[in-house]
Structure formats: C-alpha cells, structure tokens
Amino acid sequence: MCYYRGVPYGDRSTIPQALIQNPCSQACRCSVADEPQFECAAVDCVEVFSGDTQQCVSTYELESCCSTGTVCGKDAIANLKTCEVDGQTYMEGERFEPKNSHKTCICTAEWNGSTDNPNYCRDINCGIEIHYQEKLLDNCAPVFVGDRRSCPIGFSCPTPTSRVVRGLNVRGVNSECVFGNMTLGVGDEVTSTERCTTCTCVVPPFVSCMMQSSCSDSTRM
C-alpha cells in the first residue's frame, strides 16, 4: 500500500493528476513489487535536447512542464518584454524561480517583482511523498540546503549511532516527530553523520535536516 496526503493507494492505483500539482509528475501509480513506491511516467522535454538557444527563446505556460512555444529571430526576440529577477534578465515567456520564494514563475508583461500573483507564479511541489515514498516509510528525514524554501537534496536515514539530543520546546507543542524508531519532541535534535548538517524536530511528524549552504560540494550527499 502506498500513501499520498494520507490517502492509501493499492497496487497499480493511480493518483488523480489534479492532486499532484506538478506538471512534470505524470501518471503516478503505486507499485508494491519490492517496497511500496509511486512510479511516474517519464516526461522528456524537447528543449532539453535543442542545440540552437542563441536565436530562439523557449516559452512556457505556468502549468506546463515542457515549453509550449518558441520565439526565434533577433527582431522577434527584441520585441519581447523582459523581467529583471535576482540580477538576471528573463525574456517574456521564460520560466524562472526567484530566490527564497519556493515559487516557479513565468515572465509576463504583468511582472512587477511580486511572486504572489497566481497568473504568473505558483508554488513548487517537490513531490516528496511521490518520489521518496520508501524514505518516508523508513522515517528518514529530508535534507535541505540553506532553508526549507527549497526541495530536499536527499534524505538522512537512521544509523546504529544515531541518538536524540533533547532540546528546548519553547512553543510548548505536544506533537512529536519520528526518525527511524526514535521519537523526538519539538526542539529535539538527532545526530547526523553528514557534515554541516543539523536534524531537528520542527514541524511534526517528520524530522527535517538543514545543511549549511556554505559547505563545499565535497561535503554534500
């Protein structure tokens, strides 16, 4: 049995696409052949294999995974509106992810620097329950870099040396987190074998791990 948002799915059962909220995760169904997990259809975008990016701009729609159009030629490109975001310039129709927003946006003539407009920005759905079902069932913890406004770069799972370090529950929350077969209160930490990484019970029921963004790539998972 697989689980998505608390709903059980039997073997070969498919999650309704409207519930996934990620255009790049299509036809996701439960498979219990080995361990319960969701398997999704591969989405291959043509623009990934396109070599001519100098004279053309791939354009997107907010709810599309792959590009839905192309603007080619210097004159046509020169007529496109532009969006200035985080020191980068994007052409009208291009897709971008503003820093510290956990949003994906499309450059439009309406862009005013705000990510709150649903006409051109939407929340990023990392699909953790879909793509990491087996990790969640093992009560592993997602590892984020910098802050929780990003998708996890991996998971930290219990080891024989893992132990709980009791912390201060300043919010007085009674809910608990689970890491492997260990139970943590809000504010408690669990030791991690990864450098620069702290794993804490912040938002039950899962422990989450934060890796310092200043760590070099050689220390990452």
pTM: 0.74
Q: What pLDDT sits at residue 51? A: 57
Mean pLDDT of 80-94: 96
Domain count, the chain: 3
> Residue 57's domain spans which residues?
46-123
> What's the rounded Cα separation, in Å, for the pair 102 and 7?
25
List helix spans (H) across 17-111. 17-20, 74-78
Q: What pLDDT sits at residue 216? A: 47
pLDDT of residue 26 exceeding 80 = yes
Q: What pLDDT sits at residue 149? A: 64
Mean pLDDT of 13-31: 92
Q: What pLDDT sits at residue 195? A: 81
Is the CB of residue 194 less than 8 Å from the CB of residue 221? Answer: yes
Domain match, 98 and 146 both: no
Mean pLDDT of 141-160: 85
Q: What angle do CA 161, 163, 166 make, to 5 degrees?
A: 160
Instruction: Kindly indicate the confidence band of residue 220, based on its pLDDT and cuts at 50, 70 and 90.
Output: very low
Domain match, 155 and 199 both: yes
Q: What does the mean pLDDT of the chain come to?
A: 88
Is the CB of residue 91 less than 8 Å from the CB of residue 77? Answer: yes
Q: What pLDDT sits at residue 1? A: 87
Domain match, 95 and 116 both: yes
Mean pLDDT of 46-61: 76
Q: Is residue 183 part of a domain?
A: yes
Each residue's pLDDT tens digit, 35-44: 889 999 988 8
> What's the rounded Cα separation, in Å, for the pair 180 and 190?
11
Domain match, 36 and 53 both: no
- Which distant-in-sequence residues (6+ apart) come within 8 Å of 73 by Cβ? 55
With 0-12 CB in 10 A as exposed, 13-18 as middle and 19+ as buried, what is 61? middle
Domain-terminating residue out of 123, 153, 188? 123
Q: Is beta strand 176-179 parallel, antiparallel or unpaired with respect to 197-200?
A: unpaired
Q: Which amino acid does the sequence have at 101?
A: S
Q: Which residue has the higher pLDDT, 182 or 169?
A: 182
Domain match, 36 and 99 both: no
Domain-terminating residue out of 123, 156, 178? 123
SS3 88: strand
> What's the rounded Cα separation, in Å, for the pair 66 and 73?
21
- In terms of phi and psi (left: phi > 0; alpha: psi -120 to 50; beta: otherwise), the region of 141 is beta
Please give the full DSSP string across 98-161, using - where no structure is assigned.
-TTS-EEEE--TT--S-S--TTTEEE----HHHHTHHHHHTT-EEEEESSSSS--SEEE---TT
